[in-house]
């Protein structure tokens, strides 16, 4: 079976989800503990801010028992006394494929259609594959999911408009200023959301930007990626007036920019307008700063209407994308079901070849090499012909391996030892 044990923003609060988040360096030790305790040897662990999902492939346990074992090992690894079992969803086989394909297509994200999940799933899959944690089934499952995600994004309108806060902020900038590509931008913060915001700005043509962050190394890495400049964190208040747009996205619990700083900046700019975007929760820019003449301030709540309008458009696109998901799930399930026929097909061929060889032994007394060759060719041809007929009938009778009872009878008929 293919199994999925998961917890997400749809089933649990951030406090609960946070207890099950995996750092990259924790994934392999967790896998090794599961392998040692359960003999489940094939796994992919996906961990993001919105979800932790454990995909696994196994044939040793009934599905219910397998889920219990994986959850038990998860709680042991995280040293949690409460199993939080009620917050986890459990899926198997076809439902796993459908869920994963919808996740990577962006259906299951807080922001419908967002692209960040693609990289997160690929990183998880590649890490686990390089660590020899995956089998052919999981490899095929995830490769098919990437194909599904690509098709949904290229064949539907699921990417229409900005639905992430950072992308919406860039759209606001583009709408409020003349020729965004000529503006100077200061980005305070260097995390994932800051990186996405900067990437969106670059797509709009912004080239003159600086990054400031409490951890200098992170600011340098982000700035270097896009050929930007760095302002040491302790100096950014003195440089505010140099920028047309200031975007703040950090996890600071207090204001990084207060009204007094913005007043000073406005004076130095002699009435030249300045736009401030605060993507932080809680606020990192004092709200009163937006009352200063020449200053425009937008916070997360101000961007929600923009996001909501585009989300409605993408919800329509989700429905048009479902046939693509259905098609991709069916393709994977056909392949997965056909794997169960392999032992029977192997047994059919082996039995026919054995009978063929036994019967041929009775003709070894023939002196003519030519006659012996012709007999060999005829019997081999007959064996292959019957094998093809039996295999064709086998696939039809078992619905390509889906009919478990028919498959059991056939396995018994040909003495297949699973």
Active-site annotation, residues? 49
Rounded-to-10 torsion of CA 290, 292, 294, 298: 0
193 is in an annotated binding site: yes
191 is in an annotated binding site: yes
Do residues 128 and 120 make contact, with C-beta atoms less than 8 angstroms apart? no
Grouping H, G, I as helix, E, B as strand and the rest as coil, residue 188 is: strand
49 is in an annotated binding site: yes
What are the DSSP calls for 126-141, one per residue?
HHHHHTT---HHHHHH
Report d(CA 9, CA 16) in Å as an integer: 10
Residues 6+ away with beta carbon under 8 Å from 38: 60, 61, 66, 69, 70, 73
207 is in an annotated binding site: no
114 is in an annotated binding site: yes
Single out the residue of 185, 295, 306 nearest to residue 249, CA to CA.
185
Query: What angle is formed at CA 196 by the lines to CA 139 and CA 256, rounded to 5 degrees?
Result: 135
189 is in an annotated binding site: yes
50 is in an annotated binding site: yes
Do residues 168 and 307 make contact, with C-beta atoms less than 8 angstroms apart? yes
115 is in an annotated binding site: yes
192 is in an annotated binding site: yes
Half-sphere exposure of 327 (CA within 13 A, CB side): 10
Residue bearing tokens 């988040």: 21
82 is in an annotated binding site: no
93 is in an annotated binding site: no
219 is in an annotated binding site: no
28 is in an annotated binding site: no
Q: In Å, how far from its chain's centre is CA 174?
A: 30
Report d(CA 45, CA 160) in Å as an integer: 30
Residues at the binding site are 48-51, 109, 114-116, 120, 189-194
Residues at the binding site for substrate are 48-51, 109, 114-116, 120
Residues at the binding site for NADP(+) are 189-194
């Amino acid at each position: 079976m293919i199994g999925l044990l998961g917890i997400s923003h749809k089933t649990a609060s951030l406090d609960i989800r946070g207890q099950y988040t995996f750092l990259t360096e924790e994934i392999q030790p967790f896998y090794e503990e599961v392998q040692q305790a359960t003999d489940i040897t094939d796994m992919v662990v996906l961990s993001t801010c919105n979800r932790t999902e454990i995909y696994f492939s196994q044939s040793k346990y009934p599905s219910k028992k397998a889920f219990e074992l994986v959850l038990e090992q998860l709680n042991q690894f995280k040293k949690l006394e409460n199993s939080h079992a009620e917050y986890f969803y459990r899926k198997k086989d076809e439902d796993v494929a459908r869920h994963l394909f919808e996740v990577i297509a962006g259906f299951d994200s807080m922001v419908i259609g967002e692209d960040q999940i693609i990289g997160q799933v690929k990183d998880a899959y590649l890490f686990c594959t390089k660590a020899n944690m995956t089998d052919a089934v999981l490899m095929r499952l995830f490769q098919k999911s990437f194909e599904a995600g690509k098709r949904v994004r290229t064949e539907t309108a699921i990417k229409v408009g900005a639905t992430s806060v950072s992308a919406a902020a860039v759209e606001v900038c583009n709408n409020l200023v003349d020729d965004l590509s000529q503006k100077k931008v200061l980005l305070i913060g260097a995390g994932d959301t800051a990186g996405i915001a900067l990437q969106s700005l670059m797509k709009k043509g912004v080239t003159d930007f600086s990054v400031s962050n409490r951890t200098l190394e992170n600011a340098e890495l982000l700035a270097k990626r896009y050929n930007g400049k760095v302002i040491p964190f302790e100096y950014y208040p003195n440089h505010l007036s140099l920028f047309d747009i200031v975007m703040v996205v950090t996890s600071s619990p207090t204001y990084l920019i207060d009204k007094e700083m913005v007043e000073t900046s406005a004076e130095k700019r002699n009435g030249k307008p300045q736009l401030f975007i605060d993507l932080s929760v809680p606020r990192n820019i004092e709200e009163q700063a937006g009352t200063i003449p020449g200053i425009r301030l937008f916070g997360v709540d101000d961007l929600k209407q923009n996001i909501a309008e585009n989300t409605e458009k993408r919800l329509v696109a989700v429905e048009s994308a479902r046939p693509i998901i259905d098609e991709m799930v069916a393709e994977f399930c056909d392949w997965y079901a056909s794997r169960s026929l392999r032992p029977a097909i192997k047994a059919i061929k082996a039995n026919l070849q054995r009978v063929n060889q036994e019967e041929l032994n009775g003709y070894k007394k023939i002196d003519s090499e030519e006659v012996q060759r012709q007999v060999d060719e005829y019997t081999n041809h007959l064996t292959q012909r019957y094998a093809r007929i039996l295999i064709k009938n086998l696939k039809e009778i078992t619905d390509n391996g889906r009919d478990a009872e028919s498959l059991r009878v056939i396995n018994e008929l040909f003495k297949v030892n699973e």
